[in-house]
Amino acid sequence: MSASAALQKLFYEALRANAGVSAMVGDRVYDHVPADGAGKVTAEFPYISFGAYDFVPDDSDCIYAGEHTVQIDIWSRAVGKVEAKTITDAVRRLLRDYEADMGDYGLVEMRVDLAEVIGDPDGLTSHGIVQVTALIEEPE
């Protein structure tokens, strides 16, 4: 498993195991959001999905490492933005300075770089965004 896949697995398990987050979204944490044949989302709201991913190498003498940045998206159709803000805040608090064993990979540091809630262009959906960066050392 690659470092990026191991990081996503860590996020998935952490989000599903956290009582506060799961009380709001249940088990609706997706890598691929359920949709019908026309591409219309069929997932029950609210839910969390994985968005953009970015990697920046941070190697040094004999150490292979890099910053892995993952966008975690929160989707709500509740009236107003309170539900999206509440879930976004719970995800942000959970992953800020998160520590975990990543097996073959060394999680050196995790930080939340951004948390925001915006209106979706459909006029119905609130979209929370939590951007998390993890510095990970990889085996040679």
Q: In this structure, which topology does domain 3-138 adopt according to CATH?
A: STM4215-like (3.30.2000)
Model pTM above 0.85? yes
Rounded distance, CA 76 to CA 118, Å? 11
Name, in order, each residue with C-beta under 8 angstroms of 115's C-beta and a sequence gap of 6 or more: 88, 89, 91, 92, 128, 129, 130, 131
CA 108 to chain centre: 18
CB 64 within 8 A of CB 138: yes
User: For residue 65, which amino acid is it?
Assistant: A
- Range 79-85 average pLDDT: 96
**Position 45 confidence tier, pLDDT thresholds 50, 70, 90:** very high
Say if residue 60's pLDDT is above 90.
no
- Reported residue count of the chain is 140
For the chain, domain boundaries? 3-138
Nearest alpha carbon to residue 55 among 36, 68, 74, 39: 68
Mean pLDDT of 9-23: 96
Please tell me the predicted confidence (pLDDT) of residue 63.
76
Distance CA 73, CA 46 (A): 11
- Residues 66, 77: Cα–Cα separation, whole Å: 36
Q: What is the pLDDT of residue 139?
A: 85
